[in-house]
């Protein structure tokens, strides 16, 4: 089991590296947020269904969540949690400054390049399902990308819609990998193969 997890992590790192060098015509324009999001409706717990592999989340191998709660009208508390490759529970708490209707600047103390509590938007809600059941978020350059869901389990039709939206928003769904969730999808694999 541990060996399989290490192989999967290695393949994930390779996919992340490829994402940085593979050209994309859609990537020429920065990622744009949706026109409007009801922040109060957006608050709460979200389960990560898929993500672009990144150094800060490579150790998270299952049950990755983001919990958002209001501090004041312009500030959101962010708590990211996951189960690590060793089976330990990991979490970090930060803040998000609201820069626009669907654009925030997220910061985490002690994380290089993310320590400042104010700055340009690095968290854009690029898609939100009409019922707020799932969302696609990322940064303007698409180096980060996350598919979040209110439930850790989604049906096949929703997975197909997710893959379509991810691609339409300029991400390569073959370079984004699924995130195992207890009671939901259990494998780490390219999103395009789901």
Domains of the chain (ranges, CATH numbers): 2-193 (2.40.128.20)
Per-residue pLDDT tens digits for 157-173? 999 999 999 999 999 99
| Nearest to 125, CA basis, from 108, 146, 149 | 146
Per-residue pLDDT tens digits for 52-101? 998 877 889 999 999 999 999 999 999 999 999 999 999 999 999 999 99
| 96-110 core/surface letters (b: 16 or more CB in 10 A; e: else) | bbbbeebbbbbbbee
pTM, rounded to two decimals: 0.85
Cα separation of 5 and 118, whole Å?
37
Read off the pLDDT band of 186 (50, 70, 90): very high
Per-residue pLDDT tens digits for 120-132? 999 999 999 999 9
Tokens of 121: 């938007």
């Amino acid at each position: 089991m541990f060996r399989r997890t290490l192989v999967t992590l290695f393949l994930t790192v390779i996919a992340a590296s490829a994402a940085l060098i593979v050209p994309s015509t859609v990537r020429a324009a920065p990622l744009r947020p949706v026109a409007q999001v009801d922040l109060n409706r957006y608050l709460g717990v979200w389960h990560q269904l898929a993500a672009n592999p990144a150094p800060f989340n490579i150790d998270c191998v299952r049950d990755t969540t983001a919990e958002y709660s209001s501090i004041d009208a312009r500030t959101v508390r962010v708590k990211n949690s996951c189960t690590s490759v060793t089976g330990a529970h990991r979490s970090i708490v930060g803040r998000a400054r609201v820069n626009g209707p669907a654009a925030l600047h997220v910061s985490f103390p002690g994380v290089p390049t993310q320590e400042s509590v104010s700055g340009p938007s690095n968290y854009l809600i690029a898609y939100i399902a009409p019922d707020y059941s799932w969302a696609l978020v990322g940064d303007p350059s698409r180096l980060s990308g996350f598919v979040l869901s209110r439930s850790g389990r989604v049906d096949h039709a929703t997975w197909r819609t997710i893959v379509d939206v991810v691609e339409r928003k300029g991400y390569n769904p073959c370079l984004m990998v699924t995130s195992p969730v207890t009671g939901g999808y259990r494998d780490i694999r390219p999103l395009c193969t789901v």
